[in-house]
Amino acid sequence: MGAVLDVTSKAMKPQVERKSIKFRGTVYTDGVGVSVLKQNHDTKKKGDSSGGKSKSNEADEFPYVEKLGKEGLLAGVGKCILLGPDRRYLFYCMHEKSTVENKMIYRYTSNRKVIEIKSRKFRKLRNNLKRGNVIAAELSLSHLKSSTVNKDRFVEYLQE
> What single-letter DSSP state applies at residue 144?
S
HSE of 73, CA atoms in CB hemisphere, 13 A: 6
> What single-letter DSSP state applies at residue 56?
H
Q: pTM for the full model?
A: 0.36
Residue 106: partners with Cβ closer than 8 Å, 6 or more residues away: 92, 93, 94
pLDDT for 4 equals 63
* Average pLDDT by stretches of 10, the chain with 160 residues: 62 72 74 75 57 56 78 76 67 79 84 89 91 88 75 79
